[in-house]
Chain A
Amino acid sequence: MSQSEVTLKLSCQNNAAQLAVVDGDYKVVASGVSPFETKLAPGIYSLRARVGDAIKERVEVLRADEPVYQFQLDSPQFQSAIPILGTSTHHEYQDQTPKQFTSNRPQVVLGQQSSFVLYVRDVSRTNFNITPGQRSVYDANFDGFGLLRTDGTELVDFDIAAHKDVDNGYVGAQIQIDPGAYVLAWRHRQERWCMPINAVAGFSAQIYLRLQPTSTDSPAMRPDFRSASYVFDAKNTGFDPMRSDLNALESVRLAFERGRNVVEAPVMRQMLSDKFDNPMLGLYAAHLLLADERRDLALLEEVIRNTAGLLGKTFPDVVALAWGYEKRTQRRPQGFDDRPWPELLQELQGPPLLMRSWDLLVACAQEVAPGEASRLPALSVAADLVAAGIYLVWQTRFPRKPTEIAATTRIPLPRPVSNDLGLVLAQTSITSRSFDFAAKTVDRVLGPLGIGVKSLKITASEIRKTEEAAAALQSLARKYDWSERLDRFIAADANLSQFTGLQRDLMTVLRQASADRQILRGLDDRFVTALIASNRIPIETLAQALEGLDQAAVAA
């Protein structure tokens, strides 16, 4: 230690907080998790603790005449859907209310061994400020939730089954169910937003949601799935707003949102090993450890093993983590099922809870079961995923008409336009005004080869590679005037209920490409690669979407 340096010992009341020391040039000169020690030149520093977006800061002067400084920062008051003490969204009038949904008296009994708890609240205190004229709009904010089977059948309508206390701004219910895969859905007009529920024997799966205003001048709100809190408690564990494990869980969730590994702090390590009893903490921690380049593989293996011990080895997120672990270490976590991966994938009844788990399962399916991904129940919602932070959320319109898979003649797809033949296609391509002429031109060019764009049918099973998907996409763009097709679809059903989210997205591209040659040429395998990556889907999902669009366009 240089004579001119001083020692700073920094800690925070919240063990999962990220700590930072910032100098006068606003550079972070030291950072870590609590407790934390560093040596610094004397000077003025900003000392910061952060949990999620919440920050506690104090500016301190460290002088050379004092060798050691010690500070404890207050816990930043982060936001949480769970009404726990010490958060910025805690309200006394709500903090005991989840107890009625976590006791041994469920509101609805549908099965045994497991339960699901939904708790939705408004943290904005709008309930105290609404006018009589706004009352019905505000009341409706708490409606629309349902518990579904994975096939979409509604098991519980929370509008009927839940306890709704609008005066205090919350709604909730506990449903006793059998272990297995379910879906929490929120319906709004013709749409449903869905989250997976994987019920486990002996545990209560709990989803806490916050309502979020949709504008500054209306009491209308929406559930914010991005900031949802997911808890697995041992069944009949009562809620207590002072529970420190919930505070730790939420702190780690917020760190997970930012990809910050805070789980290697001493207190957190203890929670993940000797004192492990929180499966959701295990899932967050395992993903953080897996994503950290300096990962502690022994701790990772222990966390996966502990989490599997509580949730079971067929829990989708556990399987995903085991796959991720094997990819890193070339071996499975100790004690994990040693059956082949395709078998384990087939056994999953529904999708995982976390987006990171989803990515791992998609990668696993692509590697060990090519061509099968879209048939796996765990990946069945791929075409409807929405961006919702760390959670897997999908959005469907209802009722969705099932797409009939007609028997198709298998015709080889043309190669993408990057080759010579493709270039001819691109150069003779179409505008929306001259579609028929151009299509005939294309057909004439391809005639000798027996391939006509107009008569081409897109067959999902023919598409295994990105260049094949690109060729199919280009063919579709040439085959129809998508601006006109889209108008027809909207005229028939403004909600476009028959299409998946992916198909609706693809139609926006096809609409542009069928009217612009340069854009058409842009639909190459690089575009498809980027599309698959940004949508986080297996190629089979894209192939099915293209086949479905072809059939719908023919029918229109």
Chain B
Amino acid sequence: MAAGDFAILVGISIYADAQYSKLDGPPNDIALIKQWLLEKAGGDVPEKNIIVIESTNPPTIVPPYGMSPRKEEFEAIFNKLVADRMALREARLNGRLYLYFSGHGFCNRDIERGDSEAALHTANATKYINEHMFGTFYARTAKGGPLFKETVLIMDCCRSSEINRKLLPGTSTVTPDETLSAHAQLMAIYAAPKGGLAQERKIKEREDKVYGLLTHALIKALDEARPNGNNQITGSALKDLMLQSWETVCGPDAPARPEIFLPPSGELLFGARNTGTPVTIQFNNPQPVGAMFTLRNSKLEKVADLSATGNAGDDLVGKDGSLLSYARQANQLVLRLQPGLYEYSATSGPRGTIKIPGEAQIVTV
């Protein structure tokens, strides 16, 4: 267990000012992220180290400016964490901090630094009072301190269509230790800095509940990504998979791709579930005796030769591990494949390519 890891999860779905529409995604996002954090093959974070700050539903009746969650509530927790970690002196260069934000928010991009910054509107934000949590600031503070060896910032909060004021730094104080900080790493994942309300939607494979697209795609990638030899997912593999499969995972009218910033050196590692993605191969016509379905990986190496007529004795599965499992149904092969590009061919049919994960994973032969 990652006993030294810590997580602060913030989800804001109800706002005092009617200009911020009620969101359905944040409570589900928080539950999904928390579930992944708790899982042994996920974050493996002790439950006592996961702090959740979220809207109460129905909201507590208070003056608008008093509505929770507010910035000071987050800062009280963050500042206590700062004090606790700094007291550890050099030993604080250990473990991982997850900072997760879901709700209405806004992002800025700096083209020269090639960097992004994002903030989450707090529940007491109004048209005139720009109350927000500047998530990037806290992540940078955690890295600069450093408070932990690794910091992972996830901001699924670019759902506001309004133009926003500039970001206001937080007031958390850490005197950075540059020597220690040089050994600390920060990975930041942002929903795209675009307006519009399409950043959360019903997700069919998650019982049609509403989720932020970034959160859904992140957990899906963590579940399905191809692990390395140590059964872990590297930060860069996670980034590649999320970006390159974004449009297919999000479906029609996919919003802009998220922005993912990796540490300049070294890799952050994540637990791998290696569930792969299901693909159904549908044979439209009866296959001749001895017909085979052949699958090759992106290097054109054979992944499997599977009998198209159901003769299991003819099946041959390669050792590259791309094919996680397969089963036969009437006129169908149901495969579970690791993400990637594949070529298929059948004895009696044309060749074709498959991209995993793809939009509709039914391939007709």
List residues of chain A with CB under 8 Å of any chain B CB.
22-28, 41-46, 52-53, 55, 57, 59-61, 63, 191, 193, 212-216, 222, 224-226, 256-259, 287, 291, 356, 385-390, 393, 395, 397, 486, 490, 494-496, 501, 504-505, 507-509, 512-513, 516, 518-519, 521-524, 527, 530-531, 534-536
Judge if B241 is at the interface, Cβ distance under 8 Å.
yes
List residues of chain B with CB under 8 Å of any chain A CB.
21, 65, 71-72, 75, 79, 106, 108-109, 111-112, 114, 117, 127-131, 134, 137, 161-173, 192-197, 226, 237, 240-241, 243-245, 247, 255-257, 296-300, 339-343, 351, 353, 355
Interface of chain A, main secondary structure: mixed
What 7 additional pairs, Cβ within 8 angstroms, besides A501-B130, A536-B166? Answer: A26-B245, A43-B298, A46-B341, A212-B161, A395-B163, A509-B171, A531-B169
Residue of B21, B168, B247, B343 with most partner-chain A CB within 10 A:
B168
CA A277 to CA B247, docked complex, whole Å: 37
Question: Are A225 and B240 in contact (CB-based, < 8 A)?
Answer: no
Question: Are B128 and A534 in contact (CB-based, < 8 A)?
Answer: no
CA A257 to CA B110, docked complex, whole Å: 9
> How many residue pairs bridge A and B at CB < 8 Å?
176
Residue of B169, B193, B194, B342 with most partner-chain A CB within 10 A:
B169
Question: Are A212 and B195 in contact (CB-based, < 8 A)?
Answer: yes
Closest chain B residue to A523, Cβ basis: B171
Question: Are B163 and A24 in contact (CB-based, < 8 A)?
Answer: no
**Distance between A484 CB and nearest chain B CB, rounded to angstroms:** 12
Question: Are A213 and B173 in contact (CB-based, < 8 A)?
Answer: no
Find chain B residues with CB under 8 A from A534 CB. Answer: 108, 117, 134, 166-169
Residue of A57, A216, A490, A519 with most partner-chain B CB within 10 A:
A519
Closest chain A residue to B164, Cβ basis: A387
Question: Are B161 and A386 in contact (CB-based, < 8 A)?
Answer: no
Closest chain B residue to A536, Cβ basis: B166
Question: Are B111 and A256 in contact (CB-based, < 8 A)?
Answer: yes
Closest chain B residue to A520, Cβ basis: B171
Do A226 and B131 form a contact, CB below 8 Å, given A46-B355, A259-B114, A291-B111?
no
Find chain B residues with CB under 8 A from A214 CB. Answer: 21, 161-162, 197
Find chain A residues with CB under 8 A from B247 CB. Answer: 55, 57
Question: Are A386 and B165 in contact (CB-based, < 8 A)?
Answer: yes
B163 partner, pick from A226, A257, A496, beta carbons under 8 A: A226
Find chain B residues with CB under 8 A from A490 CB. Answer: 128
Find chain B residues with CB under 8 A from A24 CB. Answer: 297-299, 340-342
**Distance between A197 CB and nearest chain B CB, rounded to angstroms:** 18
Residue of B166, B339, B353 with most partner-chain A CB within 10 A:
B166
Closest chain B residue to A290, Cβ basis: B112
B341 partner, pick from A59, A259, A397, A530, beta carbons under 8 A: A59
Closest chain A residue to B166, Cβ basis: A535
Question: Are B130 and A508 in contact (CB-based, < 8 A)?
Answer: yes
Question: Are B163 and A193 in contact (CB-based, < 8 A)?
Answer: yes
Question: Are A505 and B108 in contact (CB-based, < 8 A)?
Answer: no
Closest chain B residue to A58, Cβ basis: B353
CA A535 to CA B169, docked complex, whole Å: 10
**Distance between A385 CB and nearest chain B CB, rounded to angstroms:** 6
Question: Are A212 and B196 in contact (CB-based, < 8 A)?
Answer: yes
Question: Are A53 and B168 in contact (CB-based, < 8 A)?
Answer: no
CA A27 to CA B226, docked complex, whole Å: 13
Find chain B residues with CB under 8 A from A28 CB. Answer: 240
Closest chain A residue to B257, Cβ basis: A53
Find chain B residues with CB under 8 A from A504 CB. Answer: 128-130, 165
CA A522 to CA B257, docked complex, whole Å: 35
A531 partner, pick from B75, B114, B129, B168, beta carbons under 8 A: B168
A388 partner, pick from B163, B171, B245, B255, beta carbons under 8 A: B163
A-B contact pairs, 30 of them (CB 8 A): A23-B341, A24-B298, A24-B299, A25-B298, A43-B298, A44-B296, A44-B300, A53-B255, A53-B256, A59-B355, A212-B195, A225-B163, A226-B163, A226-B194, A258-B109, A259-B114, A291-B112, A356-B112, A387-B163, A387-B166, A397-B128, A490-B128, A505-B168, A508-B129, A508-B130, A508-B131, A518-B171, A527-B171, A531-B169, A535-B166
Question: Are B168 and A516 in contact (CB-based, < 8 A)?
Answer: no
Find chain A residues with CB under 8 A from B300 CB. Answer: 42-44, 61, 63
Question: Are B106 and A387 in contact (CB-based, < 8 A)?
Answer: yes
Find chain A residues with CB under 8 A from B355 CB. Answer: 46, 59
Closest chain A residue to B246, Cβ basis: A55
**Distance between B115 CB and nearest chain A CB, rounded to angstroms:** 10
CA A193 to CA B164, docked complex, whole Å: 11
Question: Are A53 and B163 in contact (CB-based, < 8 A)?
Answer: no
Question: Are A53 and B79 in contact (CB-based, < 8 A)?
Answer: no
B298 partner, pick from A23, A225, A395, beta carbons under 8 A: A23
CA A422 to CA B171, docked complex, whole Å: 17
Find chain A residues with CB under 8 A from B79 CB. Answer: 518
Find chain B residues with CB under 8 A from A59 CB. Answer: 341, 353, 355
Find chain A residues with CB under 8 A from B165 CB. Answer: 386-387, 395, 501, 504-505
Find chain A residues with CB under 8 A from B194 CB. Answer: 53, 226
